[in-house]
Amino acid sequence: MAAHDKVTITDIARRAGVSVPTVSRVVNGRSDVSPQTRARVEELLREHGYRKRPATASATRAALLDLVFNDLDSPWAVEIIRGVEEVAHAAGVGTVVSAIHGRSGDAREWMRNLRARASDGVILVTSALEPTLHEQLRILGVPLVVVDPTGSPAADTPTIGAANWSGGLAATEHLLSLGHRRIALIAGPPRLLCSRARYDGYRAALEAAGLSVDETLVVPGDFHPESGFAGCTALLDLPDPPTALFAASDQMALGAIEALRRRGLRVPEDMSVVGFDDLPEVRWSSPPLTTVRQPLADMGKLAARTVLALTHGARPDTPRVELGTELVVRASTAPPA
CB atoms within 10 A of CB 264: 7
Interaction between residue 285 and a second copy (CB under 8 A): yes
Binding span for a second copy by CB under 8 A among 42-50, 105-113, 209-217, 312-320: 105-113
Residue closer to a second copy, measured from CB, 34 or 286: 286
Interaction between residue 263 and a second copy (CB under 8 A): no
Q: State whether residue 53 is helix, strand or coil.
A: coil
Residues facing residue 323 across a β-bridge:
162
Query: CB 165 → a second copy: shortest distance, Å?
Result: 27
Query: CB 215 → a second copy: shortest distance, Å?
Result: 27
d(CA 56, CA 74): 36
Name which position in 118, 218, 309, 328 contacts a second copy (CB under 8 A). Answer: 118
DSSP 97-155: EEE-TT-HHHHHHHHHHHHHTT-SEEEEES----HHHHHHHHHHT--EEEES-SS---T
Interaction between residue 73 and a second copy (CB under 8 A): yes
Query: CB 199 → a second copy: shortest distance, Å?
Result: 23
Q: State whether residue 95 is helix, strand or coil.
A: strand
Interaction between residue 336 and a second copy (CB under 8 A): no
d(CA 86, CA 150): 25
Name which position in 143, 153, 225, 268 contacts a second copy (CB under 8 A). Answer: 225
Interaction between residue 286 and a second copy (CB under 8 A): yes
Binding span for a second copy by CB under 8 A among 20-28, 45-53, 61-69, 188-196: 61-69
DSSP 4-46: GG---HHHHHHHHTS-HHHHHHHHTT-S-S-HHHHHHHHHHHH
Interaction between residue 277 and a second copy (CB under 8 A): no
- Contact footprint for a second copy (CB under 8 A): 57, 60-62, 64, 66, 72-75, 77-78, 81-82, 85-86, 89, 92-99, 106, 109-110, 112-113, 116-119, 225, 251, 254-255, 257-258, 261, 279-281, 283-288
